[in-house]
Structure 1
Amino acid sequence: MMGPVLAACLLIILSTAWISQANEALCKKDGGVCSCNNNKNSVDCSYKKLTAIPSNIPVETTELRLNFNSLSKLSPKAFHHLSKLTYLSLDNNQLQTLPPGVFDHLVSLDKLVLSDNQLKSLPPRVFDSLTKLTWLSLNTNKLQRLPDGVFDKLTLLEKLYLENNQLQSVPRGTFDSLSSISTIELLGNPWDCSCNDILYLRDWIDDNKDKVTGAQDAACGDQQSKAVLDITEKDAASDCVSPNTTTAIPTSTTTPASVIYDDIHEIKVPQENFQKFLGYQEPDHLPTQPQCLMSISGYLGLMMSLMLTSAAILYVFHFLKKA
């Protein structure tokens, strides 16, 4: 009677191994493209030339590195199963925009790195769910404006990096909710010191000189020798239309396509209806070469597991029949 018992044990072991392989194919040791620590709570997918985020990142992951890849956009649900994440790096990719709600499930996130991308604007309320965030890097992008209230929910934020963008001003009250801020960097932006909406930024810098790194380095775009901190009401006498608003009066009958694009992706549209309209289905990218190899490896492993499992079942039936 030992034969059937051994066969049953073999069947259980093979089934467990098959399930484990299906769940863990993300990591290098399992034939995947990323590196994981022993507990799978730290996943490193950096420098992999990825054009899409792997779909099988373990739910218990707390640290996820996706920096130095070729990501140009994110699926709206890319991180929806990763509510335990505390650290997420997406820097040094090619991100041009962020979908509304992409970070909504990252309720434990402490540090978010989005620097060195191609972001021109941000969706309204994109950071509203990140109430535990203490570090936010948006530097070295192409941000031309910030939505009203974009940082309003980030009351625990300590470090904010906005340097080296294309910001000319910020909406009044942008930084008022940052009660925990200790470091903010603003240099390397072409601040428009001729418009009176810059006076909010001037006054905020003046009240928070100890928090603004290189306060004197936040300079006017048209006269780099003059700091925003030093401008007067006379300097900023013009009542300009802020680039942060969507109420600008058109100067011609033809609206540039770039302006239309920037405004469209800031309109809040129910994601389910939008996806249905476009016929959207995950994944939204073709798999990369490493992912294809991973899929082939997983397929071969699966076929081998099925063959061994079938053999074990036949072995069990054979002994039961003899018994």
Structure 2
Amino acid sequence: MMGPVLAACLLIILSTAWISQANGATCKKDGGVCTCNDQTKNVDCSNIKLTAIPSNIPTDTDRLVLNYNKLRELEPTAFHGLSKLTLLSLQGNKLRTLPAGVFDELKNLETLYLYQNQLTSLPPGIFDKLTKLTWLDLDRNQLEFLPYGVFDKLTELKTLNLEINQLRRVPEGAFDKLQNIKDLRLEENPWDCSCRDILYLSNWIREKKGTVSNIEAAECDGGTKAVLEITEEEAAEDCVYPNTTTAIPTTIITTLASSNDDDIPELPVPQENFQKFLGYQEPDHLPTQPQCLMSISGYLGLMMSLVLTSAAILYVIHFLKKA
């Protein structure tokens, strides 16, 4: 009977080790990996090859810096409990997307650095809870479009950086709620000046010229002309952009309505283009060990309790048999 007992004890030891690793200290002074300053409430976890947000970040942290790590994704609850943050920096990572609600508890955040990542899109409402935000950096990503109303709640925003992305247009009214904007960088994006959608941006730049810095630097794709100089005659096309609308061009609707199934020709569409139109992305990695540990740490406590109970039962059986 000692075999099962020893096995139970071994499981207890392993469980304790896993829980310790999953919920380990954050600050170096406590055996962690990040530099913490108790006076300034700053936590710096830069350049330490993190693949997940450290657990047990002090809840009174004011500034959290996670620059130049290997973060590819964030858990939706990554910053829960950090409501006192005023600055969050995630620059120089490998983030391709952001989970909805990841910033919802950061209601005192004033500065958010997300530049130099690999973001191709933003979830609708991702910044809605950040009503105190004054500085937002999204430059040097791969953003192809912006959701409607993504900046509508950022009425205190003064600086917005969108340069060096893949933006071809912005939604109608994208910047209308930015009442305090002073600096907006739009350069080095492939703005499509042949489509009618560009007229909102062109008119907005013309209206804000002289009151908002750097907006005049936005140029049409190819650098042939400034966006603010585009006229209605030049932007004459009605364009449909993938991921920004579900509208189907009227020519296709007419063709389908007037044709039998047998008459519709099969068009060769490359699979990767079709997936891109649908907004589909193949996952390029599996969850890392720290992420897995953080996800299951809540269950390990329950497992420990069950193991302890099993061990107690085995001991009772053992002594009863000896008696």
What secondary structure does 1:199 align onto? helix
Q: Is the 8 A contact 1:113 1:136 kept in 2?
A: yes
- The percent of aligned pairs where both chains have the same amino acid is 57
User: Does 2:197 match 1:197?
Assistant: yes
* Equivalent residue, structure 2, for 1:146: 146
Distance in 2, matches of 1:88 and 1:259, equals: 32
User: Does 2:119 match 1:119?
Assistant: yes
Compared with structure 1, are the counterparts of its residues 211 and 168 closer, same or farther at alpha carbon in structure 2 (3 Å cutoff)? farther
Alignment of 1:32-51 (within 5 A): 32-39=32-39, 41-51=41-51
* Equivalent residue, structure 2, for 1:90: 90
Q: Is the 8 A contact 1:40 1:58 kept in 2?
A: no
User: Does 2:280 match 1:259?
Assistant: no
Size of the aligned set, in residue pairs, is: 250
User: Does 2:290 match 1:287?
Assistant: yes
Compared with structure 1, are the counterparts of its residues 86 and 25 closer, same or farther at alpha carbon in structure 2 (3 Å cutoff)? same
Give, as a single letter, the amino acid of the residue that structure 2 aligns with 1:51.
T
Q: Is the 8 A contact 1:166 1:189 kept in 2?
A: yes
Give, as a single letter, the amino acid of the residue that structure 1 aligns with 2:289.
L
Distance in 1, matches of 2:288 and 2:48, equals: 15
What secondary structure does 1:287 align onto? helix
Distance in 2, matches of 1:27 and 1:170, equals: 42
Describe the superposition over 1:254-274 as per-residue Cα deviations: whole angstroms up to 9, x where unpaired: 562233345999xxxxxxxxx
Distance in 2, matches of 1:263 and 1:146, equals: 17
- Report deviation, 1:244: 5.8
Give, as a single letter, the amino acid of the residue that structure 2 aligns with 1:231.
I
Give, as a single letter, the amino acid of the residue that structure 1 aligns with 2:38.
N
Higher relative contact order (CA 8 A, sep 6+): 1
Compared with structure 1, are the counterparts of its residues 121 and 133 closer, same or farther at alpha carbon in structure 2 (3 Å cutoff)? same
What secondary structure does 1:220 align onto? coil
Compared with structure 1, are the counterparts of its residues 172 and 104 closer, same or farther at alpha carbon in structure 2 (3 Å cutoff)? same
- Report deviation, 1:215: 3.4
* Equivalent residue, structure 2, for 1:241: 240
Q: Is the 8 A contact 2:182 2:213 kept in 1?
A: no
* Equivalent residue, structure 1, for 2:181: 181
Give, as a single letter, the amino acid of the residue that structure 2 aligns with 1:117.
N
Distance in 1, matches of 2:83 and 2:74, equals: 17
Distance in 1, matches of 2:190 and 2:225, equals: 12
User: Does 2:232 match 1:229?
Assistant: no
What secondary structure does 2:26 align onto? coil
- Report deviation, 1:28: 1.3
Compared with structure 1, are the counterparts of its residues 262 and 156 closer, same or farther at alpha carbon in structure 2 (3 Å cutoff)? farther
Distance in 1, matches of 2:24 and 2:100, equals: 30
Distance in 2, matches of 1:263 and 1:179, equals: 35
- Report deviation, 1:100: 0.4
Q: Is the 8 A contact 2:26 2:54 kept in 1?
A: yes
- Report deviation, 1:25: 2.3
Distance in 1, matches of 2:134 and 2:103, equals: 15
Q: Stretches of 4+ moved more than 6 A in 1?
A: none
For structure 1, the residue ranges without an aligned partner over 5 or more in a row are 1-21, 266-283, 292-323
Compared with structure 1, are the counterparts of its residues 171 and 244 closer, same or farther at alpha carbon in structure 2 (3 Å cutoff)? farther
Distance in 2, matches of 1:127 and 1:212, equals: 21
Give, as a single letter, the amino acid of the residue that structure 1 aligns with 2:231.
T
TM-score of the aligned structures, taking structure 2 as reference length: 0.72
* Equivalent residue, structure 1, for 2:129: 129
Distance in 1, matches of 2:181 and 2:247, equals: 32
Give, as a single letter, the amino acid of the residue that structure 2 aligns with 1:147.
P
- Report deviation, 1:249: 2.6
Distance in 1, matches of 2:143 and 2:201, equals: 16
Q: Is the 8 A contact 2:91 2:113 kept in 1?
A: yes
Describe the superposition over 1:60-84 as per-residue Cα deviations: whole angstroms up to 9, x where unpaired: 1110000110000000100011111
Distance in 1, matches of 2:157 and 2:37, equals: 28
What secondary structure does 2:199 align onto? helix
Describe the superposition over 1:120-160 as per-residue Cα deviations: whole angstroms up to 9, x where unpaired: 00000000000000000000000000000000000000000
Give, as a single letter, the amino acid of the residue that structure 1 aligns with 2:34.
C
Q: Is the 8 A contact 2:71 2:95 kept in 1?
A: yes
* Equivalent residue, structure 2, for 1:54: 54
